[in-house]
């Protein structure tokens, strides 16, 4: 659980930004393409150089090593990147402790959870600190509509939507305390989008994660912000302002 604070953070093209997102809060940003939504998210994740400071639970970013910062403040970029041939190889990067024996020993039948069966697998997460075991990953994938054999799939043959959903799973299994989402559901069909929205919502509530979501879909912003009591901002002329209700 973590709150995110932007203290006069100044990404490229934008005026300095003051913004506080509480633990478990949902905040949307929108704006015309090229306004700088992605640049803002990249600046927060420390992927682009920026002026100013970002704090996670009052810890300044400048005092946290960059790799650790990016694990804790997880960005899902609009365009996902894949560096290995098979899907499964992309889930092994977190320098996590190896999955615990109990999780490894879970019989295969128990791994095969159906999407309707469970909520977000946070009981697993609590047992193992912030790392999800094999069970957690399988359930996460199931909630996004994948069988666990997806890990053997060839990345080249994935559709854009599949890539987006798998990138979300890859990010969440890393256990970030803050989520930065850049058009997280832009390429998904309605049913997949609903699944992804639900998963993100569960993650936000159960982990009390601050979520900053760039979305160009006004309907999605309104619907989710209303349900979660979230705020909406818009980037206009290089400034971040509260979005006037449509």
Name the residues that contact other proteins, by CB under 8 A.
Answer: 45-49, 66-68, 70-71, 74-75, 77, 79-83, 90, 93-95, 167, 170-171, 174
- 96 within 8 A of 131, measured Cβ to Cβ: yes
Indicate the angle between helix axes 160-172 and 134-143, nearest 10 degrees: 140
| DSSP per position, 100-114 | PHHHHHS-HHHH---
Task: CB nearer to other proteins: give 26 or 75.
Answer: 75
Compare residues 29 and 155 and give the one whose CB is closer to other proteins. Answer: 155
Q: φ and ψ at 178, to 5 degrees?
A: -130, 140
Nearest residue (CB) to other proteins, 113 versus 180: 180
Q: What are the φ/ψ torsions at residue 64 (nearest 5 degrees)?
A: -110, 130
Structure tokens that stand for 19 in this block: 């913004």
| Both structure tokens of 197 | 């929205």
- Do 8 and 44 meet the contact criterion of CB atoms below 8 Å apart? no
Give the number of other CB atoms < 10 A from CB of residue 14: 20
Please state the closest distance from residue 226 (CB atom) to other proteins, in A.
30
State which residue, 81 or 190, has the beta carbon closest to other proteins: 81
- The tokens for 125 are 């997460």
> Min. distance of Cβ 1 from other proteins in angstroms?
19
Taking the complex as a whole, the smallest distance from the CB of residue 105 to other proteins amounts, in Å, to: 27
Q: Which is nearer to other proteins, 182 or 243 (CB)?
A: 182
Tokens of 20: 């506080």
């Amino acid at each position: 659980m973590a709150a995110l604070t932007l203290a006069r953070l100044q990404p490229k093209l934008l005026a300095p930004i003051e913004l506080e997102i509480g633990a478990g809060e949902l905040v949307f940003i929108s704006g015309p393409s090229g306004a700088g939504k992605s640049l803002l998210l990249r600046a927060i994740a420390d992927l682009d150089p920026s002026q100013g400071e970002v704090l996670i639970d009052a810890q300044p970013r400048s005092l946290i090593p960059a790799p650790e910062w990016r694990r804790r403040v997880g960005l899902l970029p609009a365009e996902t990147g894949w560096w290995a041939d098979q899907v499964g190889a992309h889930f092994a990067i977190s320098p996590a402790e190896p999955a615990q024996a109990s999780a490894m020993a879970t019989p295969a039948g128990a791994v095969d959870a159906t999407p309707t069966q469970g909520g977000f697998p946070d009981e697993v997460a609590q047992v193992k600190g912030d790392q999800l075991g094999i069970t957690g990953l399988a359930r996460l994938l199931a909630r996004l509509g994948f069988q666990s054999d997806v890990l053997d799939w060839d990345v080249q043959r994935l559709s854009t939507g599949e890539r987006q959903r798998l990138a979300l799973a890859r990010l969440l299994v890393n256990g970030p305390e803050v989520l930065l989402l850049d058009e997280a559901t832009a390429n998904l069909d309605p049913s997949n989008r609903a699944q992804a929205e639900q998963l993100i919502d569960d993650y936000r509530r159960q982990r009390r994660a601050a979520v900053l979501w760039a979305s160009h879909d006004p309907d999605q912003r309104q619907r989710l912000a209303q349900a979660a009591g979230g705020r909406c901002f818009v980037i206009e002329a290089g400034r971040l302002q509260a979005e006037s209700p449509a």
